[in-house]
Structure 1
Amino acid sequence: MKKFLKIAGVTIVVLVVFVLGYAYVSFNSYSPTDPDVTVDKAKLAYYQNSWEECRAAFRAQANSMKTRFDSVVIFSRSVESKTDTGLTIDFCYIPASDTTEKLVMICSGTHGIEGFVGSAVQQLLMAEFFKPEMLKNTGVLLVHGLNAWGFKNQRRFTENNVDLNRNYSTDKSLFDTNNDGFVALYDMLTPKGKLNMNSLGNKFFLVTAVNQIARKGMQALLQAFAQGQYEFQEGIYFGGNDFEQQVAIMSEVLTDIATPYSTLLNLDLHTGFGERGELHLFPNPINDPELKAKTEQVFKGYPINWGDSDNFYTVSGQFVEYIGDLLPDKTSIPMLLEFGTLNTSSTIGAVISAHISIVENQGAHYGYKSEKDSLKALAGYYEMFYPPSEKWRSNALSVSFDMIGDIWENFAEL
Structure 2
Amino acid sequence: MRENRYFSHTYEESRAGFREKLGEVRKYWPDAGLETYHIGSREDDNTTDIIAADALEESKDLIIITTGEHGVEGFAGSAFLQLFIEEYLPRINHKTTGIRLVHAVNPWGMRNFRRVTESNIDLNRNYIEDWGEFTGSVEQKYTREKELFVPAEPLENIKSCKEELHARLNEAFSTEELAEFKDTPSGQHEYKTGVFYGGKDWDEPARELKTRYFNWVRDYDHPMHLDIHSGGGPKDELTIIFNEADRRSEARLQEDLSYSNVMKSSTEDIYGDSNLYLQKALQEEFPDKKTMVCLFEFGTIGESVDDLIFCTRTMINENGLYFQGARKEEVREEVNRDFARLFNPSKEEWRKQVINKGREGLEAVLRSENIRI
What TM-score, normalized to structure 1? Answer: 0.81
Match of 1:112 among 71, 74, 77: 71
Residue type at the aligned position of 1:385: F
Q: Which residue of 2 aligns with 1:285?
A: 244
Shift of 1:364: 0.2
Distance across 2 between alignment mates of 1:322 and 1:285:
10
Match of 2:307 among 349, 353, 360: 349
Residue 227 of structure 2 aligns to a residue whose secondary structure is: strand
Q: Which residue of 2 aligns with 1:77?
A: 37
Shift of 1:103: 1.6
- Unaligned runs of at least 5 residues, structure 1: 1-40
Q: Which residue of 2 aligns with 1:157?
A: 116
Match of 1:136 among 91, 95, 99: 95
Shift of 1:186: 1.0
Residue 134 of structure 1 aligns to a residue whose secondary structure is: coil
Distance across 1 between alignment mates of 2:344 and 2:292:
27
After TM superposition, list the pairs within 5 Å mapping 1:15-54 onto structure 2: 41-54=1-14
Distance across 2 between alignment mates of 1:68 and 1:263:
20
Residue 291 of structure 2 aligns to a residue whose secondary structure is: strand
Q: Which residue of 2 aligns with 1:203?
A: 163
Residue by residue over 1:159-183, the C-alpha shift from the partner in whole angstroms, topping out at 9 and shown as x without a partner, is: 0000011111332145623412211
Q: Retained in 1: the 8 A contact 2:29–2:56? A: no
Residue 274 of structure 1 aligns to a residue whose secondary structure is: coil
Match of 2:274 among 319, 324, 328: 319
Shift of 1:313: 9.8
| Backbone CA RMSD of aligned residues | 2.5
Q: Which residue of 2 aligns with 1:371?
A: 329
Residue type at the aligned position of 1:85: D
Is the alpha carbon distance of 1:347 and 1:125 closer, same or farther for their aligned partners in structure 2, counting shifts above 3 Å?
A: same
Is residue 393 of structure 1 aligned with residue 324 of structure 2?
Answer: no
Residue 238 of structure 1 aligns to a residue whose secondary structure is: coil
Shift of 1:301: 2.4
Residue 234 of structure 1 aligns to a residue whose secondary structure is: coil
Distance across 2 between alignment mates of 1:269 and 1:118:
5
Distance across 2 between alignment mates of 1:203 and 1:279:
31
Q: Retained in 2: the 8 A contact 1:100–1:260? A: yes
Q: Retained in 1: the 8 A contact 2:71–2:111? A: yes
Q: Which residue of 2 aligns with 1:55?
A: 15
Residue type at the aligned position of 2:76: V
Q: Which residue of 1 aligns with 2:293?
A: 334
Is residue 168 of structure 1 aligned with residue 127 of structure 2?
Answer: yes
Q: Identity, % of aligned pairs?
A: 24
Q: Retained in 2: the 8 A contact 1:273–1:342? A: yes
Residue by residue over 1:24-43, the C-alpha shift from the partner in whole angstroms, topping out at 9 and shown as x without a partner, is: xxxxxxxxxxxxxxxxx233
Distance across 1 between alignment mates of 2:227 and 2:125:
13
Q: Which residue of 1 aligns with 2:319?
A: 361
Residue by residue over 1:97-152, the C-alpha shift from the partner in whole angstroms, topping out at 9 and shown as x without a partner, is: 33212222111100000101100110121122212643333322111100000000
Q: Which residue of 2 aligns with 1:194?
A: 154
Residue by residue over 1:349-401, the C-alpha shift from the partner in whole angstroms, topping out at 9 and shown as x without a partner, is: 11001111000000000011111111100000100111010111111111102
Residue type at the aligned position of 2:107: A
Match of 1:383 among 341, 351, 358: 341
Residue type at the aligned position of 1:281: I
Q: Retained in 2: the 8 A contact 1:174–1:316? A: no
Is the alpha carbon distance of 1:43 and 1:279 closer, same or farther for their aligned partners in structure 2, counting shifts above 3 Å?
A: same
Q: Retained in 2: the 8 A contact 1:324–1:332? A: yes
Residue by residue over 1:171-214, the C-alpha shift from the partner in whole angstroms, topping out at 9 and shown as x without a partner, is: 2145623412211121122342111243634224322222123x
185-194 vs 232-241, greater mean Cα deviation? 185-194
Is residue 227 of structure 1 aligned with residue 186 of structure 2?
Answer: yes
Residue type at the aligned position of 1:380: D
Q: Retained in 2: the 8 A contact 1:197–1:377? A: no
Residue type at the aligned position of 2:322: A
- Unaligned runs of at least 5 residues, structure 2: none
Distance across 2 between alignment mates of 1:302 and 1:71:
38
Residue 176 of structure 1 aligns to a residue whose secondary structure is: coil
Is the alpha carbon distance of 1:413 and 1:117 closer, same or farther for their aligned partners in structure 2, counting shifts above 3 Å?
A: closer
Residue 214 of structure 2 aligns to a residue whose secondary structure is: helix
Distance across 1 between alignment mates of 2:15 and 2:193:
29
Residue 48 of structure 2 aligns to a residue whose secondary structure is: strand
Is residue 273 of structure 1 aligned with residue 228 of structure 2?
Answer: no
Distance across 2 between alignment mates of 1:284 and 1:58:
29
Q: Retained in 2: the 8 A contact 1:180–1:224? A: no
Residue type at the aligned position of 1:303: N
Is the alpha carbon distance of 1:58 and 1:175 closer, same or farther for their aligned partners in structure 2, counting shifts above 3 Å?
A: farther
Q: Which residue of 1 aligns with 2:361?
A: 403
Residue by residue over 1:79-105, the C-alpha shift from the partner in whole angstroms, topping out at 9 and shown as x without a partner, is: 1149x6111110012222332122221
Q: Count matched residues.
A: 365
Q: Which residue of 2 aligns with 1:243?
A: 202
Is the alpha carbon distance of 1:144 and 1:246 closer, same or farther for their aligned partners in structure 2, counting shifts above 3 Å?
A: same
Distance across 2 between alignment mates of 1:97 and 1:224:
44
The structure having more radius of gyration, on CA atoms, is 1
Distance across 2 between alignment mates of 1:79 and 1:413:
33
Is the alpha carbon distance of 1:375 and 1:313 closer, same or farther for their aligned partners in structure 2, counting shifts above 3 Å?
A: farther
Distance across 1 between alignment mates of 2:76 and 2:343:
8
Residue type at the aligned position of 2:11: W
Shift of 1:282: 2.8
Q: Which residue of 2 aligns with 1:218?
A: 175
Shift of 1:319: 1.8
